[in-house]
Amino acid sequence: MSLLRRIWSRITRPTQFVGTDLEGNRFYEYPSTTDDSRRTKRVVKYAKGRDMLHYIAGERRLPVQWMSWLTHTRFHPPTVQELQADLERQRRVLLNAAIIEARDREERARQQIQGPQETSILDNGAQSSTEAVTQGQAASGPPNPVLKSEPSIQQTQSSLPQDSAKAQMPASPWRRPSGAMDEPQPWSPSSVRRGGG
- Most confidently modeled of 12-16, 186-190, 193-197? 186-190
What's the half-sphere exposure (Cβ side, CA atoms, 13 Å) at 65? Answer: 16
68 and 18 within one domain: yes
Give the residue with greater pLDDT, 179 vs 114: 114
Kindly report the pTM of this predicted structure. 0.47
- Point out the domain boundary residue: 131, 154, 169: 131
74 and 61 within one domain: yes
14 and 35 within one domain: yes
- Give a yes or no: residue 117 inside a domain: yes
67 and 34 within one domain: yes
- Give a yes or no: residue 38 inside a domain: yes
* pLDDT higher than 70, residue 184: yes
Give the residue with greater pLDDT, 34 vs 134: 34
- Point out the domain boundary residue: 16, 48, 78: 78
105 and 89 within one domain: yes
36 and 63 within one domain: yes
- Give a yes or no: residue 40 inside a domain: yes
CB atoms within 10 A of CB 69: 22
Asked if residue 28 lies in contact with residue 22, where contact means CB atoms within 8 angstroms, the answer is no
| Mean pLDDT on 84-98 | 95
67 and 9 within one domain: yes
72 and 84 within one domain: no
- Tens of pLDDT, residue by residue over 12-71, are 666 788 888 988 888 998 887 777 777 888 888 888 877 777 777 777 788 889 989 989
CA–CA distance, 51 with 26 (Å, rounded to integer): 13
- Give a yes or no: residue 124 inside a domain: yes
- Give a yes or no: residue 156 inside a domain: no
53 and 40 within one domain: yes
* pLDDT higher than 80, residue 93: yes
CA–CA distance, 94 with 147 (Å, rounded to integer): 49
Asked if residue 18 lies in contact with residue 41, where contact means CB atoms within 8 angstroms, the answer is no
* pLDDT higher than 50, residue 195: yes
* pLDDT higher than 50, residue 145: no
| Mean pLDDT on 110-116 | 84
Q: How many domains does the chain have?
A: 2
* pLDDT higher than 60, residue 5: yes
- Give a yes or no: residue 191 inside a domain: no
- Give a yes or no: residue 49 inside a domain: yes
Confidence of residue 98 (pLDDT cuts 50, 70, 90): very high
HEC readout, the chain:
CCHHHHHHHHHHCCCEEEEECCCCCEEEEECCCCCCCCCCEEEEECCCCCCHHHHHCCCCCCCHHHHHHHCCCCCCCCCHHHHHHHHHHHHHHHHHHHHHHHHHHHHHHHHHHHHHHHHHHHHHHHHHHHHHHHHHHHHHCCCCHHHCCHHHHHHHHHHCCHHHHHHHCCCCCCCCCCCCCCCCCCCCCCCCCCCCC
Q: Identify the pLDDT of residue 97.
A: 96
- Give a yes or no: residue 112 inside a domain: yes
Domain that holds residue 114: 79-131
